[in-house]
Structure 1
Amino acid sequence: MSGFKFPSAFTILFILIAVVAVMTWIIPAGLYDMSMNEALGRETPVPGTYKEVESNPQGWVDVLMAPIKGLYDPVSYTANAIDVALFVLIIGGFLMVVTRTGAIDAGIGGLLTALKGREILMIPILMTAFAAGGTTYGMAEESLAFYAIVIPIMLRAGYDSLTAVATIMLGAGIGTLGSTANAFATGIASDAAGVSLGDGIVLRLVILASCLAAGIAYVMRYAKRVKDDASNSLVYDQLEEHREAFLGGAEQGALPEFTRMRGIILMLFGLTFVIMLWGVIAQGWWMGEMSALFLGMSILVWVVGWFSSETSLSEGEFIDAFVDGARDLLGVALIIGVARGIVVVMDDGQITHTILNALEGVFGGLGEIAFINTMFGVNIILSFLVPSSSGLAVLTMPILAPLSDFAGVGRDLVVTAYQSASGWVNLFNPTFAVVMGGLAIGKISYDRWLRFVAPLLLILAIIVVAALSVGALGSDAAPVATGDGVVSEQQQSSDPQN
C-alpha cells in the first residue's frame, strides 16, 4: 500500500496487549496447584492438578493499566521492570558523561586506526564475546549498555546501525540459545526437570558453536555488502539520521585527540563493564547493584576529568550531560514496561496455565524425534507468551519434562529444546523488552529487523531441529526422581537390590 508506514514498537505492543485481553474473554481461566520447590526457592505448578476457575476477563481499563503494572509488578517470576528501566536511564547518563569528555570518540579513532582495512574483524570478535556472556549467564538486559558504544564504531567503520544492533543482539541471543552454564535458564530448567546442569551439555555446545558460526557469517556477509555499497543497507534511507544521532552528523569528521587523560577515562569506562560482569556472575548482582555501579562510575569519571582541561566538566555540565543521556534512553525505559504488560494481562486473566494445560495433550503417542521437535515447537509458542527464560522454565518444566519419560527421551533433551526455543524466539520477540529496547536505541524499526533476521532464523531453526533429532535418536529413556516419588530407570538399574 502506497504511503503505508509500519507501526512503531509502542503501537505493536499495545495491539498485542489488546489481543491478549480479548483472549481472556474466550479462553477459560484455569490454574495449577502450586507448591514450593526448595531447590529453586520458588513455587512451581504441580502436574495433574489443573482446574478451571472463575474467569477474570480483562477490559479496557486493564489494558491501560497493563504497561503501568508491567513496570512495577514482578510478573512471570521475574524482577520488577522498573529496575531494568532505571538501569537503562542510568546507563544513558553514564555514557553521555563519558562521551562529553571526548574519550569515546578518541577511542573509536584509535580502534579504527589499529584495524585499518580489517574493520570487519570486529564482528566475529564482538559476537563471540557477547555469546560468551549469553551462554554463561544469559546476558540480556546487560547488553543494552553496549549499543551506544558499538553503534558509533560500526558507523565510523563504514557499516550501518543495523550491523551494530545485529552484532550485539545476535551475539548475546545466540549465546543464550546455546546456553551451557546459564544458571538463569538452563540451571533453573534442569533443576525443575530433575537433571543436572551438565546433562546434555555436549549437544548444547554443538548447537552453540554451529549457530554462532552461522550468525557470524550472516552478519559479516551483510556488513560487507553495506560497506561495498551503502544502498544495500536495509536502513539506507536513515543513514544520515543515524550519523547525526550517533556521530554528530559527520561520518568521517575529525575525532578528538587521544590524550593520556582520555586513555585513563577509557580505562575506567572498560573497568566499569568488567566489574559489572564480575558482579553478575560471581556476586549475584542484579539491576539495583548495576545501576549503583554506573552511577558511581559516572561521578568518578567526572572527578578524574577535572585534572585535564580537555576532559573537565563543570558541575552544571556534568548534571546536564547525565540528564541528557538519560533523556535519550527514556523511550527505551518506557517500552520495557509496555512489553511486560502482555504477560500482566495473561496472568491477571488467568489463561497462562490454561494454555499450558492444553499443550500437554499435544504430546501423546509421539515417537522420539516427533516428540522432541514438538517440544521445541510448543516452547516456541510459550516463549512468545512468557519471554522471561527463567519464568518459562519455572512455569513449564515441572509439567512438560515428565512427559519425556513416556516418549523414551531423556529429560536433559527437553531442557535443551526449551532453552533453544526460548533463545530462538527472543531474537525477534516483540514481547521481549531487550529486543524492543535494543532496536529503539539503534533507531531500527521492528519491520526492518524482521526483514534482516528472518533468513537467519530459518537457518538457526534447522540447526536446532537437526541437533535435537540426532540427540533424540541417541537418547535413552531415563525417567528421573520426581516430587511424587517416581523413580528413574537409571536409578533402578544402578540400585544393587534391583
Structure 2
Amino acid sequence: MSQLNIQQASSAAPVQESGQSPYLLLFIILVLAAVATWLIPAGVFDFVTRDGIKFAVKDSLHAVPQSGVYPLEIFTAIAKGMVKSAPIIFLILFTGGVLAVVEETGAIATALNSLSRSTRLSDTRMVLIFGTIFALLGTTGVVVNAVVAFVPIGLLVARSMGLPPILGASLVYLTCAAGFNVAILNPATTGLTQHLAQLPLFSGMLLRGITCLLFVVSAIAYLIWSIRRARQDGYLRPKQAQGAEQTAKVTGRHKLILSTVGLSLLLFISGAVKFHWGTSEMSAMFILLSIAVGLMGRMSGSDIANTFLSGCSKLVKGGFIVGMAASISLVLQQGNVLDPIVGFLSDLLAPIPPTAAAIGMFISAALMHFGISSGSGESALLIPIFSPLGDNLGLTRQVMVQTVLLGEGIVNCMSPTSGVLMAVLATANVSFGKWLRFVAPVIAVWFVICVVMLLIGVAINWGPF
C-alpha cells in the first residue's frame, strides 16, 4: 500500500449510506414543522440589535395572526433553505475540492506510509506521532469521512507492532475524532455553527483550543495505557522481518506541499483574528491553495480542475443537508411558531441556573445526534432554536455554540448511525459491541471534560456576545 488518495475513501461511501437517510428524517421533521404552524399559536419576540447582532428580548413574546404553511410551501422552503445557506454550502464543497487536490499529490499518504514502516519508534512515540498528526487533520477538517482510507495504515502499524486490529484502527480513527470533536478550524462544523449563531468565524479559539487539547491528550494517554495492557496480555512486538516491504519516500516536493497547507491555515487564522475574514475569504483561500498545491504536485491545469470538482462532488450530500435543515427553521419562522417554541423552552428551563441549562442543551444535542448523523445538518436545525433560547437563559452565543458542537462530537465515536464509524469497524473487522466496550472509558472522560469546560464557559461569560 504505497499510495492512498481520496478515491479510496470514496469506496467506503456505500457503507456510509446504510441505515436511515438523514434527508428522510429531516423531511419528516420539515413536514411536522409545517403542521405545527397550524397547531401552535403564533407569536414573535421583540429584538434588539447590538454590534450588528439581533438578540431576543426576554419576556417580550406576543401573539400575532396565525400564518400556517401550506403543503406546496414546504417544497419552496427547501429551495429557499438552499439559497439562504449558499455561502456555507459552497465553503463545504470547496473544502472537499482542496482536500482532493492535496490527496492527489500523495503528500499525506506518503508521509504516513513512511512513518508506519519505521521500526525504530517505541510504542509511546508511535502513539504520540500518530495522535498528533491525526488530531491536527481532524480538528482542521482535513480528514473527516476520508479517515476510513487511512485506517489500513493504522492496521499495518498494529500488525508490525504485534498489536490487535482494534488498536490499529484507534491510532487513526480515535485520535482523528478527538481533534474533530472539538474542531478548531473546521468550516463544516465550527465555522457553520458560528455562522448560524452570527458569531465571528473561529472566534473563542482559546477555550475551544484548550478543550481540544484535553480531548487529544486523554485519547493519546488512553491508547498508551491500552497498548501497555496489551503487552502484559501477551501481545509482543515481533522482530523486524527480512526484506521489509518498500514504500515511497517523502520527497522535498511533498514537504513543500504539506508546509504550504499548514502555512495557509495559519494565514487564515491570522486574517480571521485581525481582519475578521469569513466564509468568502476562506472559500477564496481554498481555491488559491488548490491551484498552488496542484502546481507543486506537477498536476496539469485540467487535472487540478477535475480533481477539485471531484472532491466537491463528494461533499454535495453533506452540503445539501445544511440547506435541508435550514428549511425547517424557515418554515417555523414563516409560520411564526419558532419564537413560541423558544418561549416554551425558556419558561421550562427558567428555574434552572444557566450552568444546568448549558449542560441540558449539551445532552439534548448529543441525543439528537443519534438520529441526525450529520453534524452540519444538526447545527442548522438546532442553532435557530438554541440562539434565542440561550439569550433568554443568560447564556452567551459562544457557550450555546459549544453545547451543540460538543454534543455532536462526543457521540461520533459510539453512534451506530455513523456511517464513518461503521466503515472503520468493517475495515478493521471489529464488532460494534467490542468497540463500545473498548471506547467507553475515553468517552466517559470526554463527557467530564465537556461538562467542566461548559461550566467554565458559563462562569467566565465566554464571548463574544
Q: CA deviation at 1:51?
A: 3.3
After superposition, what is the alpha-carbon deviation per residue over 1:285-332, rounded to whole angstroms, capped at 9, x for unaligned? 334333333333333344445xxxxxx44x3xx524652464255232
Q: CA deviation at 1:345?
A: 1.4
Q: CA deviation at 1:334?
A: 1.9
Q: Determine the structure 2 residue equivalent to 1:51.
A: 62
2:175 aligned to which of 163, 167, 173: 167
After superposition, what is the alpha-carbon deviation per residue over 1:213-246, rounded to whole angstroms, capped at 9, x for unaligned? 44444566678999999xxxxxxxxxxxxxxxxx
Contact 1:81-1:340 within 8 A present in 2 as well:
no
Give the aligned residue type for 1:116. Answer: L
Q: CA deviation at 1:107?
A: 2.3
Q: 1:344 is paired with a residue of what secondary structure?
A: helix
Q: Determine the structure 2 residue equivalent to 1:485.
A: none
Residue 76 of structure 2 corresponds to residue 83 of structure 1: no
**Distance between the aligned counterparts of 1:105 and 1:142, measured in 2?**
13
Q: Determine the structure 2 residue equivalent to 1:355.
A: 341
Q: What is the TM-score normalised by the length of structure 1?
A: 0.59
Q: CA deviation at 1:80?
A: 3.1
Distance 1:116-1:335 versus aligned 2 partners, 3 A rule: same
Give the aligned residue type for 1:352. Answer: L
**Distance between the aligned counterparts of 2:293 and 2:195, measured in 1?**
37
The 5 Å alignment of 1:65-144 reads 66=78, 68-74=79-85, 80-99=87-106, 103-112=107-116, 116-117=121-122, 118-126=125-133, 129=136, 144=144
Distance 1:112-1:429 versus aligned 2 partners, 3 A rule: closer
Contact 1:13-1:339 within 8 A present in 2 as well:
no
After superposition, what is the alpha-carbon deviation per residue over 1:75-109, rounded to whole angstroms, capped at 9, x for unaligned? xxxx733222331342244224423xxx4443224
Contact 1:333-1:437 within 8 A present in 2 as well:
no
Residue 341 of structure 2 corresponds to residue 333 of structure 1: no
Distance 1:223-1:43 versus aligned 2 partners, 3 A rule: farther
After superposition, what is the alpha-carbon deviation per residue over 1:128-156, rounded to whole angstroms, capped at 9, x for unaligned? 6579x6xxxxx6x6765985996675455
**Distance between the aligned counterparts of 1:59 and 1:226, measured in 2?**
59
Q: CA deviation at 1:20?
A: 4.2
Q: 2:342 is paired with a residue of what secondary structure?
A: helix
2:406 aligned to which of 416, 421, 424: 424
Q: Determine the structure 1 residue equivalent to 2:379.
A: 387
Q: Determine the structure 2 residue equivalent to 1:290.
A: 282
**Distance between the aligned counterparts of 1:104 and 1:209, measured in 2?**
22
Q: What is the TM-score normalised by the length of structure 2?
A: 0.63
**Distance between the aligned counterparts of 2:361 and 2:326, measured in 1?**
17
Q: 1:426 is paired with a residue of what secondary structure?
A: helix
Residue 447 of structure 2 corresponds to residue 461 of structure 1: yes
**Distance between the aligned counterparts of 1:436 and 1:363, measured in 2?**
31
Q: CA deviation at 1:47?
A: 1.6
Contact 1:169-1:438 within 8 A present in 2 as well:
no
Give the aligned residue type for 1:107. Answer: A
Percent of aligned positions that are identical: 16
**Distance between the aligned counterparts of 1:328 and 1:228, measured in 2?**
44
Give the aligned residue type for 1:16. Answer: L
After superposition, what is the alpha-carbon deviation per residue over 1:370-393, rounded to whole angstroms, capped at 9, x for unaligned? x63244214543685961697666
Count of residue correspondences: 396
The 5 Å alignment of 1:340-489 reads 340-350=323-333, 351-366=337-352, 372-378=355-361, 380-381=363-364, 384=368, 387=379, 394-401=387-394, 416=399, 418-427=400-409, 456-465=442-451
Distance 1:373-1:438 versus aligned 2 partners, 3 A rule: same
Distance 1:394-1:421 versus aligned 2 partners, 3 A rule: closer
Distance 1:259-1:342 versus aligned 2 partners, 3 A rule: closer
Contact 2:214-2:449 within 8 A present in 1 as well:
yes
Q: What's the C-alpha RMSD, in Å, of the aligned pairs?
A: 5.3
Give the aligned residue type for 2:121. Answer: K
Mark the runs of 5 or more structure 2 residues left unpaired by the alignment. 1-14, 159-166, 185-189, 234-243, 369-376
Distance 1:465-1:394 versus aligned 2 partners, 3 A rule: closer
**Distance between the aligned counterparts of 1:226 and 1:344, measured in 2?**
50
